[in-house]
Amino acid sequence: MRRWLSEFWEVAPLGLSFGCALGCYWMLRTMKNALFMELVGPAYLPHAKLASMVFLLVTLVLYGKGVDWLGKRRLLAVLYAAYAVLFAVLTYFFQQGVASHHLTLGWGFYLSIESFGSLGISHLWSLAVNATTDAEVAARRFPLLAVGGQIGACTCTFLLARTAEHGQMVPLLYLAVVLLALAPVLTFHWLQKNNIPDDVHHTVESGEEPKAHTGLWEGLRLVMTRPYLVAILWSVVAYELVGTYLDYQMNSKAHETLVTLEKVTAFLATYGFAANFISLIFALTGTTWLVKNWGLSRCLIIYPIVLCFLVLGAACSPTLWVLFGCQIALKGAAYGFNKPCLELVYVPTSDDIQFKAKSWIDTAGSRGGKALGSVMNANLLRYAPGWLVWGGASVCMVFLVIWMPVSRYLGARYEKLLADGEKLS
């Protein structure tokens, strides 16, 4: 217990930074779907997922170059400042009533929030991974960072759930801007407190040539040529496809059942709070113990097995509250358990993998999975409702069955890299 408390206080500033970032993201993410369905329509959600994929590919190329130009720490400041300004502008126009007749605002919120969820959160995790070279320390630290993130997400979604029906969305949008400004400040404080320099693994020894910049597409090349990274990519794609399948059904059912923007927003905020509360419980009580006692290899296999039961449950009874329960279980276990486990597999890897390859996996892989799920949803919607329910469930089960041996390979490779004292590069 004493060791846990010591570790907790050591990472507290970084945990608070995760809380600001995740709190901001979940609050905006909840509003995003409600606003988009109100301004554009729920039938266009699959198209929005596809559009976000294209948008993210463009921003990801710029992000890869930014790692070379600015360094990891300065890029965090620029990235969060840019999104803070963007959300402030969107909120101003929303406050002025432009949302009532301007579809562009709905698309603007959707694309910017989707891209921040991938780039902003991924970069914060990359800094945490890059600053942690010991696997045992990472196994203790990462669940604590998840705790900080989930406390922030729970707080912000709770505020949204309590105020959405009273028309208080604008103040919370501005709160999200403030949280975006605070996150990098807290991260810098933690890095300085622990004497961690920028580009920590790129210190150039005397007589050594500086490492050349590796170009825009280096991250993608690494992913495509390393089976270890392909395994991580599949884990991300399969999770996002299943999540998109269940998420679309829950959102469209909520829009159909609850009707008004305020009620839909309050429902989705309640869902966000419940999912993050489950994540918090996992991070506080289960993740560290499971990794320590079962090993990472077994822990990586648990999640796709759980998802199989959730998909079958949602297909058997696709009502609003059953879908709600399946979604909070999926997201809760993802953020509190599966996410820290997937972050651990990056510890025995090089700097380029931790930033450039990881950003491609977290962004293009994540949006690719959502895009595949959206294409599936859009095509199955052309047929009877049963096609979306059971056809989508069948496709999800195929991805999940493949995911299980992939997870087994990933865990075994991770343990071998640690045993050999090697770093994948």
CATH code of the domain covering residue 325:
1.20.1250.20
Question: What is the 8-class DSSP label of residue 260?
Answer: S
pLDDT at 216: 52
In-domain check, residue 140: yes
Tell me the pLDDT of the chain averaged across its residues: 82
Please name which of 409, 406, 411 lies closest in space to residue 344, comparing C-alpha atoms. 411
> pLDDT higher for 287 or 58?
58
The answer to whether residue 204 is domain-embedded is no
- Residue 160 is assigned to a structural domain of this protein: yes
d(CA 314, CA 327) in angstroms, rounded, equals 9
Higher pLDDT among residues 117 and 98, named by residue: 117
Which band of pLDDT confidence, cut at 50, 70 and 90, is reported for residue 280?
Answer: confident
Instruction: Tell me if 236 is assigned to some domain.
Output: yes
- Identify the weakest region by mean pLDDT among 38-47, 49-58, 165-174, 380-389: 380-389
Question: Looking at residue 424, what DSSP letter applies?
Answer: B
pTM: 0.72
| Under 8 Å between Cβ of 214 and 66 | no
Question: Is pLDDT at 183 greater than 90 in this prediction?
Answer: yes
Contact between 374 and 110 (Cβ < 8 Å): no
pLDDT of res. 165: 65
* Rounded (5°) CA angle 396-399-405: 140
- Per-residue pLDDT, 4: 56
The Cα–Cα gap between 48 and 70 comes to 31
What tokens were used for 90? 């969107």
Q: Is the pLDDT of residue 127 over 90?
A: no
Residue 285 exposure: Cα atoms within 13 Å on the Cβ side: 7
Asked if residue 400 lies in contact with residue 312, where contact means CB atoms within 8 angstroms, the answer is no
User: Does residue 210 sit within a domain?
Assistant: no
- Distance CA(210)–CA(206), nearest Å, equals 10
Q: How many CB atoms lie within 10 A of CB 305?
A: 12
pLDDT value, residue 180? 92
C-beta of residue 109 within 8 angstroms of C-beta of residue 34: no
Q: What is the mean pLDDT of residues 22-39?
A: 82
**What is the average pLDDT across 289-293?**
76
Give the tokens for residue 40. 């554009």
Three-state SS at 349: strand
- Looking at residue 135, its pLDDT comes to 74
- CA–CA distance, 143 with 133 (Å, rounded to integer): 16
| Distance between CA atoms of residues 32 and 94, nearest Å | 12
Tokens 């103040």 correspond to what residue?
Answer: 171
Query: 2 lies in a domain?
Result: no
Q: The domain containing residue 370 runs over which residues?
A: 11-197+217-420
- pLDDT tens for each residue of 307-344: 999 999 998 888 889 999 999 899 888 877 888 888 88
Only one residue has tokens 């998909």, namely: 311
The pLDDT value recorded for residue 203 is 41
Identify the pLDDT of residue 201.
Answer: 43
pLDDT of residue 202: 42
| Per-residue pLDDT, 205 | 41
C-beta of residue 392 within 8 angstroms of C-beta of residue 376: yes
- Compute the half-sphere exposure of residue 333: CA atoms within 13 Å on the CB side of its CA: 18
d(CA 164, CA 167) in angstroms, rounded, equals: 5
Residues 173 and 31 sit within 8 Å (Cβ to Cβ): yes
pLDDT of 312: 93
Q: 424 - beta bridge partners? A: 349
**How many separate domains does the chain show?**
1
Confidence of residue 208 (pLDDT cuts 50, 70, 90): very low
**pLDDT for 363-416, tens place per residue?**
778 878 888 887 888 777 666 566 778 888 899 999 999 999 999 999 999 999
Does residue 268 carry a pLDDT above 90? no
Chain-centroid distance of CA 29 in Å reads 11
Give, in degrees to the nearest 5, the angle at Cα 273 between 170 and 264.
Answer: 55
Please check whether residue 50 lies inside any domain of the structure. Answer: yes
Choose the weakest-confidence range: 40-49, 176-185, 229-238, 274-283. Answer: 40-49
Q: Considering the domain boundaries, does residue 205 fall inside one?
A: no
